[in-house]
Amino acid sequence: MHVVRLFAVSLTLSAVALASNGPLPLSASTDTRNAIEKADAAFVDGDRQLALALYKGSLFPTELKLAVDQESLDNDDQYRAVYYALQIWDKELNGDLPIELVDRVEDADVVVRFVDSIPERGPDALGLIQLEKSYRWSKSMHTVKCKGSISIVRSAVGGRLTFSEMRDVVMHEIGHLLGLGDIEKTGVLMGPLERGKPLSRPTVAEVEDVKSLRQTLRSKIRLAETPAP
Ligand SMILES: [Zn+2]
């Protein structure tokens, strides 16, 4: 058995270019790209169980359980913001959001916490997602485990985050979980948040990119599950 641990926010994997594959959406994060390239290379090398583990580590075919740390809440809007962020993504993806909201932190794979600051990311940070993916594989089987947290600041320069701002920050972090990277342009979910300018939802292009990424991952999984001739 081999075990590899990866942090989604600070992922380092050697990229292996494969000319034979269709392009991934441009907005796919470097982490996602690297994981898929490594999986493609494993598939070509005949290491199908590793390829499957890596594809599934980006698709989450088994829903991740997400809970909000109730002890981190200091107003009613915070839980609601998380709830609506998940609802909106789920609706945009026609029910294909791989996340189930659960009550207890102990039962969760991903815990959302409201915090005073995110020192790792400096004074301007509004949110952070950290995911640890553990892959195990042998010649005949594979497993993927994913554990992590989403931190959302209670207030930033300009005062406390409003309900809409918190919802947008949670949606942004979920965008990372779904494989999108940060972009520099404002006015879109994966760009920097402008205070007082709520977005309410991902853009059509962002939703299409997530759908296309998930479709690509599903075809790659199907192919890797098909017995070799
Ligand atoms: Zn981001």
* pLDDT tens per residue, range 85-102: 999 999 999 999 999 999
For the stretch 145-167, pLDDT in tens is: 999 999 999 999 889 999 999 99
**Ligand 1 center from residue 182 Cα (angstroms):** 5
- Tokens for 102, please give them: 């659960």
Binned at pLDDT 50, 70 and 90, residue 12 comes out as very low
Q: How far is the CA of 173 from the centre of ligand 1 (A)?
A: 6
User: Under CATH, what is the fold of the domain 2-225?
Assistant: Collagenase (Catalytic Domain) (3.40.390)
Q: Where are the beta strands (DSSP E) in the chain?
A: 2-7, 64-68, 99-101, 110-115, 127-137, 142-153, 155-156, 159-160
* Res. 175: pLDDT tops 70: yes
Q: What phi and psi, each to the nearest 5 degrees, are found at residue 172? A: -60, -45
> Which residue type is seen at 56?
K
Residue 126 Cα, ligand 1 centroid: separation in angstroms? Answer: 9
Q: Which of 168, 164, 74, 63 is nearest to 113 (CA)?
A: 74
Tell me, in angstroms, the distance from the centre of ligand 1 to residue 228's CA: 39
For strands 64-68 and 99-101, give the pairing.
Answer: parallel
pLDDT of residue 42: 97
- Residue scoring higher pLDDT (14 or 44): 44
Taking only the tens place, the pLDDT of each residue in 201-223 is: 999 999 999 999 999 999 999 99
Q: Where are the domains of the chain?
A: 2-225
**Cα–ligand 1 centroid distance for 185 (angstroms):** 12
Cα 47 to averaged position of ligand 1 atoms, centre (Å): 32
Tokens representing 145? 């485990």
Query: 216 CA to middle of ligand 1, Å?
Result: 23
Report how far ligand 1's centroid is from the alpha carbon of 58 (Å). Answer: 17
Q: Tens digit of pLDDT for each residue in 34-77?
A: 999 999 999 999 999 999 999 999 999 999 999 999 999 999 99
CA of 181 to the centre of ligand 1 (A): 7
As a whole number of angstroms, the distance between CA 104 and CA 12 comes to 32
Distance of CA 139 from the midpoint of ligand 1 (Å): 36
pLDDT reported for residue 73: 98
Is the Cα dihedral 198, 200, 202, 203 positive or negative? negative
Quick one: how far is CA 84 from the chain centroid?
17
